[in-house]
Amino acid sequence: MSNRTAVTEFLLLGFSDIRELQILHFVVFLVICLAALMGKLLIVMAVALDRHLHTPMYFFLMNLAILDLGSIFVILPKSMVNSLMNTRLISYPGCVAQVFLFVVFIVTEIAFLTVMAYDRYVAICQPLHYKRVMNWRACIHMAAGPWISGIVYSALHIGNTFRLPFCQSNVINQFFCEIPQLLKFICSDSYLSEVGFIAFGVFIAANCFVFIIVSYVQIFKTVQRIPSEQGLHKAFSTCLPHLIIVTMFLSIFSFAYLKPTSSSTSGLDLFVAVLYSMVPPVTNPIIYSMRNKDIKNAVKKMIGWRLFTKNKRTVFLP
């Protein structure tokens, strides 16, 4: 085609052209980044330092916190810099890296949510076999599987996308690079292979969510037979945060990708993008912390120990 040119950079969508609103956007995103960073680091440090949390459930939760942190810092910093510098540019390699890492974190998170559902199923439905089934060797394999799967799928997916020629435009109607927006620029019939990759990813994600639903159906059947009120409360307290996160994750992403796409920029598209890229990663630690006494106690103990050590050193200063 005559209008086919080599794309060296893309133009992202800005939240506003008004300088004051751009600064406000930078400040809001900075607060979100710092809050997310603090929440995730507290969970990671609590699980790593507290021996009582050295269990499969908290090991998987620590991986989930790392994934959430990664998905936030892949997207927000570039948008913040663009607002601060009053620009919309993102380089071609930067766009490739952003899409690759975001897909890695999202795919890996779906896989980890599935693994965590299986962990809860074994803990509640087969408690006598839990230590044998969920031994540390199995946990390491279960953690490595999602990471490897996410990296391999993302590499194949992104490699297939960016090998196709872009000829329509380089203006992305979104505040970060994402596959659906990039597909609009492809001017070759070979984009059908990319659609196949997306369909395969949707198929795998659907199977993961079906597995999660089946696991929780079995869990609820088992929970109903628990005679002790204390045991019933403990079962619900360990399962409810994970179930809330899975439901929120599924509903937000279903709304984001199943809604009709528009050719022009709309406030709804921008709002949905902010919703699915920031809400799950930011709220996940809050959901787990509110319902989990072990994490609360570990964080309090860690913060108290740090303050005590600091005060103790201050006392002995000459």
Q: Please give the pLDDT value at position 262.
A: 53
Closest among 30, 41, 33, 120 to 289, alpha carbons compared: 41
Is 2 part of a structural domain of the chain? no
Report the CATH number that the domain containing residue 251 is assigned in CATH: 1.20.1070.10
Count Cβ atoms below 10 Å from residue 240 Cβ, excluding itself: 14
Tokens 């902010």 — which residue? 274
Tokens 């946990």 — which residue? 139
Q: What is the pLDDT of residues 92-111, one digit of tens each?
A: 899 999 999 999 998 998 89
d(CA 89, CA 270): 17
Q: What is the pLDDT of residues 201-223, one digit of tens each?
A: 778 888 888 899 898 888 888 88
> Which of the listed ranges 18-22, 233-237, 304-308 does the model predict with the highest average pLDDT?
18-22
Q: What is the pLDDT of residues 139-170, one digit of tens each?
A: 999 999 999 999 998 998 888 888 877 776 78
CB 264 within 8 A of CB 247: no
CB 147 within 8 A of CB 139: no
Is 96 part of a structural domain of the chain? yes
Is 4 part of a structural domain of the chain? no
Instruction: Give CA angle at 291 (33, 145), nearest 5°.
Output: 65
Output the pTM of the full model: 0.83
Question: Given pLDDT bands bounded at 50, 70 and 90, which one contains residue 174?
Answer: confident
Q: Please give the pLDDT value at position 148.
A: 94
Tell me the pLDDT of the chain averaged across its residues.
79
Average pLDDT over residues 252-262: 63
Q: Please give the pLDDT value at position 314.
A: 43
Q: What is the pLDDT of residues 109-146, one digit of tens each?
A: 889 999 999 998 998 888 888 889 899 999 999 999 99
Beta bridge partners of 91: 9
CB 241 within 8 A of CB 292: yes
CB 122 within 8 A of CB 64: no
- As a whole-number percent, the residues of the chain with pLDDT over 90 amount to 12
Output the CA–CA distances (angstroms, integers) from residue 305 to 81, 99, 234, 310, in the order listed.
37, 40, 27, 8
Is 241 part of a structural domain of the chain? yes
d(CA 252, CA 244): 12
Is 163 part of a structural domain of the chain? yes
Q: Please give the pLDDT value at position 290.
A: 60
Average pLDDT over residues 171-200: 74
Question: Given pLDDT bands bounded at 50, 70 and 90, which one contains residue 1?
Answer: very low
CB 216 within 8 A of CB 236: no
Is 112 part of a structural domain of the chain? yes
| Domain count of the fold of the chain | 1
Is 1 part of a structural domain of the chain? no
Is 293 part of a structural domain of the chain? yes
d(CA 254, CA 158): 21
Three-state DSSP class for 89?
strand
Residue numbers of the domain that contains 207: 9-315
Q: Please give the pLDDT value at position 304.
A: 66
d(CA 64, CA 43): 10
What is the 8-class DSSP label of residue 259? S
User: Does 305 have pLDDT greater than 60?
Assistant: no
Average pLDDT over residues 171-179: 83
3-state helix/strand/coil string of 4-23:
CCCCCEEECCCCCCCHHHHH
